[in-house]
Amino acid sequence: MYFYTIIEMNIRIGTFNLYQFVEPPFSWYTKKERFTPLEWEEKTAWIKQQITNMNCDIIGFQEVFSKDALEKLVNELGFKYFKTVDNAKTSKKNDKIYISTTVAIASKYPIKNLHKVDIDFTALKKHYYEGFFKFAREPIKATISLEDEKELNVYVCHLKSNRDNEFEYIFTKDTLMEEKVEKVSKALQDNYSVSLKQRLCEASSLYTDIKRTKRPAVLMTDLNDKEFSLTIDALTNRKYHEEKRKNDRFLLLDAYHLHEKKVYNPHPEFKGVKRTPTSYFAGKGNVLDYIFVSNKFDKKAKDNIAEVTSYEVLDKHLQKNQNGSLLNSDHAQVVCEIKFT
């Protein structure tokens, strides 16, 4: 059922990259990479406090290895509903070493259904992808039952990360989509950026699924790509997928751009609000963690059904140490509040 009532309600939604959530005695990738019992206690205590600070109704998690431990943790914090759609894989040589990770969703509202996100095979051809394809981390698509019989599709994703020394394209808000496509196309054809090719196929498949489903949606992700990237166009912009379309038209919108940004006592030469990074690499801040919402969540839209009333980045731990810590996270947590009318 879609949003036909006029009763107002607010929900808070967040995305949280847990950074190697591996309960001892298990390790991640190599035998020596594991937490001591005391370190694990410190890490989980920090995560509990951070979830409390987020004050969310629904949270999407990335870098989940020990899903049973995470379910127990969120249950203790009032999240009655918890789901994953895949299991973290262990090494064939040592079943105490995890070699892959998953995503998870925790909700205070009932999770009505889980659905598989199908691969868009036309996207594979478009991006010159050859061979067998699967998501780097199987995404979650969950239908959540809200109050007053409202339903919302919530996606939790963790797109393919860059390989070491792989070339990255840096674009700005002024870069036209056509310019991005032109610059990236050669790299895709010649396999210069294999990870980008994977991300574009993943993003395109998610776009196609959201478009086909039509139910209002929220997508939480560690995108592993920067602001203004072509990956965002593939995920959100109809123009990227429809060759005859001349103007941008967005299926999804970055929640950051929909909330009212408040500036207190700006300097006379103030030139705008700078977006808070959610991750750092080599001393440079990047926005990798996002919450995207249906275009009907734009209060300026004629057919809007909701609006983003707040957007927060919880990054105090990164202000102390930009690289983060295994005992907390190397990502900031992102939260937005949505008011349905």
C-alpha 338/C-alpha 341 separation (Å) is: 10
The reply to whether the predicted model has a pTM over 0.85 is yes
* Cα–Cα distances in angstroms (integers) from residue 160 to residues 62, 128, 136, 232, 339, in the given order: 12, 16, 5, 13, 32
285: burial class by Cβ within 10 Å (0-12, 13-18, 19+)?
middle
Q: 9-340 is classed in which CATH architecture?
A: 4-Layer Sandwich (3.60)
Q: How many CB atoms lie within 10 A of CB 215?
A: 13
Contact 175, 228 (CB under 8 A): yes
First to last CA, the chain: 15
What is the Cα 299 distance to its own chain's centre?
A: 22
SS3 196: helix
Domains of the chain, by residue range, sit at 9-340
Closest alpha carbon to 156 in 139, 169, 179: 139
Helix runs in the chain, H state only:
37-54, 67-76, 121-126, 177-189, 194-213, 230-236, 238-241, 316-320
Q: How many CB atoms lie within 10 A of CB 175?
A: 15
C-alpha 82/C-alpha 68 separation (Å) is: 10
C-alpha 123/C-alpha 148 separation (Å) is: 38
**Neighbouring-strand partners of residue 13:** 58, 336
Give the pLDDT confidence score for residue 272 in this predicted structure.
Answer: 64
List per-residue pLDDT tens for the chain, 341 residues long.
Answer: 554 445 689 999 999 999 999 999 999 999 999 999 999 999 999 999 999 999 999 999 999 999 999 999 999 999 999 999 999 999 999 999 999 999 999 999 999 999 999 999 999 999 999 999 999 999 999 999 999 889 999 999 999 998 776 777 889 999 999 999 999 998 899 888 899 999 999 999 999 999 999 899 999 999 999 999 999 999 999 999 997 887 888 999 999 999 987 665 556 665 667 899 999 988 899 999 999 999 999 999 988 999 999 999 999 999 999 999 999 999 999 999 999 98
Q: How many residues does the chain have?
A: 341
Give the pLDDT confidence score for residue 5 in this predicted structure.
Answer: 46
